[in-house]
Structure 1
């Protein structure tokens, strides 16, 4: 992300780092796009450094907004695609870290007391807690009471 930072007239800008990042996503950037990316990055940064509208930007998100406002997306389409990827990566990484943290919490606290199926059910409820919080307590109680009654009727 730092390589796309517009701070200090793009002082952290690094074409090789950005091309290497794009190379990690072959489904998003094919061979031809990666070859064109170097060229587009050079042109884009040269143009942006000389444009007064880009002087006071501080973050890659502000940069992407200004590229859209200045109608530069079609001219630097591959650069813009990479910039969007950089912005999404930080959010996606945080989401994945949250899931691994939840997995770690549940596995460490309950590891010796449960089987794999129960662990999977706990993880689903822990990760998607906003969804499960919408269920009413009374409905859950009724559901389990009905299960208990069915089990008793089977045993008779």
Structure 2
């Protein structure tokens, strides 16, 4: 019963597409039970501008050789995630030998960051765009979103410099 409740919550949280993406990215794990060449090829097909048909054929061969070369190397057996895999590939020079595998790994790591940033922006917009603020201009909304999303950057701005910049602007009524 508890497992059913957790599964229901999981399916409510993630769409089918998101679940497939997570499954495809999980296939980058070098654990014997998780590494899945077919899922990695499906992931590469999603990046049609980065992998053409010949790249997909080459990637299939690289994945096969990459997996067998890594399971024989002790350094690759203790990895805890794809971030550590990318670091180890660079430090061992495997990113040059298996450049398409590394490219896929970089795209998977970028997807995580890009998705989180977009989600954070939409969450902030949901808070800002209320019924009372529904008639504000797009420019004002963009400025307000920038201010709310990038708070860390704005905290570093000194008040004196901001006042000086404002005073140098044209005079207002």
Q: TM-score range by the shorter chain?
A: 0.7 to 0.9
Q: How many residues align?
A: 147
Contact 1:49 1:55 survives alignment (8 Å): yes
Task: For 1:48 and 1:74, locate their aligned partners in 2 and report how far apart those are by CA, in whole Å.
Answer: 14
Q: 2:61 aligns with which of 39, 51, 56?
A: 39
Q: 1:119 aligns with which of 126, 141, 144?
A: 141
1:14 has 2:36 as partner: yes
- Structure 1 segments (4+ residues) deviating >3 Å: 109-113, 130-133, 137-144
Task: For 1:142 and 1:36, locate their aligned partners in 2 and report how far apart those are by CA, in whole Å.
Answer: 55
Structure 2 gap ranges (5+):
1-24
Between stretches 73-82 and 126-135, larger displacement belongs to 126-135
Task: For 1:55 and 1:13, locate their aligned partners in 2 and report how far apart those are by CA, in whole Å.
Answer: 12
Between stretches 131-140 and 49-58, larger displacement belongs to 131-140
Structure 1 gap ranges (5+):
152-156
Between stretches 19-28 and 79-88, larger displacement belongs to 19-28
CA apart distance, 1:137: 6.9
TM-score (norm 2): 0.71
C-alpha RMSD of matched pairs (Å): 2.6
Q: 1:61 aligns with which of 83, 90, 105?
A: 83
Higher RCO (CA-CA < 8 Å; seq separation 6+): 1
Name the larger-Rg structure: 1
